[in-house]
C-alpha cells in the first residue's frame, strides 16, 4: 500500500468550499457524502449521541471496537453528536444549516417532520440549500411510509430474480448493491443541483427512492421485458451475449467476455478450437445464445486442460481477448494493477495508527481529489464544528451542560 499524499503543487478540489450536513445512517447517504468529501466538500456527519451511525456497530469484524465496514463509507468526514430531540440542539443544527450547501437525510417519510429537520424547516433557514431526502420508496406512492433496506430492494427491483443459478432459489448480490446505486444517484443529484444553483441562485429539493434508483440499472433484463421475454436466473451466463460467462479451468475459474464476432473468432483461434465458428450452433451470437449449454460444454472441455494463469497468458496477454480470473476479495485489493493505480492507500487514524483507504476512482488532470481525514470517532468534532462558527468555549461548555451533544438515548431506526 502506498501512503496517501498530495502533490507538491497542490491543486484545488472541485467541491472545495462546499459544506455538507449528513444526517443519514448506513450506506445510501453515507457513501454519497463520502463521494462528496473525496472531491473536497467539508462533510459534517450528524450522529445520534452515545451510539452514532448504526453502521459503526455492523460486524464482526471489529478492529479495537471499530467496524472497518464503517470506515469504507465514512472517510474524510467530521463527526458531530446532536440530540435532535433537544430544543437547543435543533437550534444549533439550524445555525449549521444556514451555512450548509447540501443537507442529506434518509429518514422514513414523516420522521424528518417530527424531528423538525424537514425541507420546509431547513429551507426557511437557508433558501439556497440543496436538500436530499433519501428513502426506500420515495416520498409519495402507496409504499412511501414503508421502511426498506438493500435486501428488500434487491428483491423488489428484480435483481434477485435474475441472480443465481437456473432452477435454484433467488440470490442477492453479495454487495449492498442497491444502497450503493442509490448513493451514486444521490451524489450525482447533489452535484447537478449545485451546478444549477451556480446558474440560477436557487436551492433544490431532491426526492430519491431506492427502488426507482435501481430500476435504470436493469438494462439488459428490462430490454427482455420490453420485448415480451421473461428474464431468468442464468448463473454467470448472459441473456444476450455468448460466450460471456465463467468457465472452469484445471485449477480454478476464468471469465471470458465475447461481445462480437471478431472476438469470437479470435478466441477460438487462440484456444485452438477453429471447429467452433463453423458449427451451425455457434456461428453467430444469436446462435450461441440459443445454444449456451452446448457451447459451455465445448469450451469448458478445452479450458479444463490448462490452469487459469496459463489461459490468461494465452487468451488475454498473447491473444488480446477479454478474459480474467475470478479473484478473492483480498486478491482484488492487492494486485499489480491496483498497486500501480494507487487504488488502495493509507491514512492516519487518531487511535488506530495507519488504516487502509479504498480511494475513489476519478482522476482529474486539473484538480485534486482524495480523502484528507480518517473516518471520525463518534463526536470527535463536537466542539470543532461550532468553533468554526465562532462559538466560545464557555458556550460550548453550556452546550455540554444542556445535553446538546447528548446525555440520553435518541435511538431512532427510521432511516430509509
Active site residues: 179
Q: What residues form DSSP beta bridges with 297?
A: none
From residue 92, alpha-carbon distances to 82, 86, 382, 403 in Å are 9, 10, 11, 12
What would the grid cell of residue 73 be?
A: 463509507
Q: Note whether 153 and 211 are within 8 A (CB).
A: yes
For residue 149, the SS3 value is coil
DSSP state of 318: I
Residue 43 host element (H or E):
strand 42-47
198 near 271, Cβ under 8 Å?
A: no
Residue linked to cell 463521494: 35
Secondary structure letter of residue 27 according to DSSP: T
CA-wise closest residue to 245 among 267, 213, 215: 267
Give CA–CA dist 23/118, Å, rounded.
11
Instruction: In whole angstroms, give the CA distance from residue 37 to residue 34.
Output: 5
Amino acid at each position: 500500500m502506498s501512503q496517501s499524499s498530495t502533490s507538491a503543487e497542490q491543486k484545488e478540489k472541485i467541491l472545495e468550499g462546499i459544506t455538507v450536513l449528513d444526517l443519514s445512517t448506513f450506506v445510501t447517504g453515507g457513501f454519497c457524502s463520502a463521494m462528496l468529501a473525496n472531491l473536497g466538500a467539508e462533510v459534517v456527519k450528524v450522529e445520534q449521541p452515545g451510539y452514532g451511525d448504526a453502521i459503526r456497530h455492523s460486524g464482526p469484524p471489529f478492529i479495537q471496537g471499530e467496524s472497518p465496514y464503517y470506515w469504507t463509507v465514512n472517510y474524510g468526514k467530521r463527526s458531530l453528536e446532536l440530540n435532535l430531540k433537544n430544543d437547543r440542539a435543533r437550534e444549533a443544527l439550524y445555525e449549521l444549516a444556514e451555512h450548509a450547501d447540501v443537507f442529506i437525510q434518509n429518514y422514513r417519510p414523516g420522521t424528518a417532520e417530527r424531528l423538525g429537520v424537514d425541507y420546509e424547516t431547513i429551507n426557511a433557514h437557508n433558501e439556497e440549500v440543496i436538500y436530499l431526502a433519501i428513502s426506500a420508496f420515495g416520498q409519495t406512492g402507496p409504499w412511501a411510509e414503508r421502511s426498506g433496506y438493500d435486501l428488500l430492494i434487491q428483491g423488489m427491483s428484480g435483481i434477485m430474480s435474475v441472480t443465481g443459478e437456473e432452477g435454484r432459489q433467488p440470490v442477492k448480490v453479495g454487495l449492498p448493491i442497491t444502497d450503493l446505486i442509490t448513493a451514486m444517484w444521490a451524489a450525482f443529484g447533489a452535484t447537478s443541483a449545485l451546478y444549477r444553483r451556480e446558474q440560477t441562485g436557487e436551492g433544490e429539493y431532491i426526492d430519491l427512492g431506492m427502488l426507482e434508483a435501481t430500476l435504470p440499472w436493469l438494462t439488459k433484463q428490462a430490454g427482455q421485458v420490453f420485448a415480451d421475454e421473461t428474464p431468468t436466473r442464468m448463473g454467470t451466463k448472459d441473456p444476450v451475449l455468448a460466450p460471456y460467462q465463467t468457465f472452469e479451468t484445471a485449477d480454478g475459474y476464468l471469465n471470458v467476455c465475447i461481445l462480437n464476432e471478431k472476438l469470437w473468432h479470435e478466441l477460438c483461434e487462440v484456444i485452438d478450437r477453429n471447429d467452433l465458428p463453423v458449427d451451425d450452433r455457434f456461428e453467430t451470437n444469436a446462435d450461441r445464445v440459443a445454444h449456451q449449454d452446448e457451447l459451455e460444454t465445448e469450451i469448458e472441455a478445452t479450458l479444463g486442460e490448462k490452469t487459469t494463469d496459463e489461459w490468461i497468458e494465452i487468451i488475454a496477454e498473447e491473444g488480446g481477448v477479454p478474459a480474467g480470473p475470478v479473484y478473492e476479495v483480498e486478491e482484488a485489493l492487492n494486485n499489480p494493477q491496483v498497486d500501480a493505480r494507487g487504488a488502495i492507500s493509507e491514512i492516519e487514524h487518531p487511535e488506530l495508527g495507519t488504516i487502509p483507504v479504498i480511494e475513489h476512482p476519478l482522476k482529474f488532470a486539473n484538480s485534486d481529489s482524495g480523502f484528507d481525514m480518517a473516518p471520525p470517532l463518534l463526536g470527535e468534532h463536537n466542539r470543532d464544528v461550532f468553533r468554526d462558527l465562532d462559538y466560545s468555549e464557555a458556550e460550548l461548555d453550556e452546550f455540554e451542560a444542556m445535553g446538546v451533544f447528548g446525555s440520553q438515548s435518541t435511538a431512532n431506526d427510521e432511516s430509509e
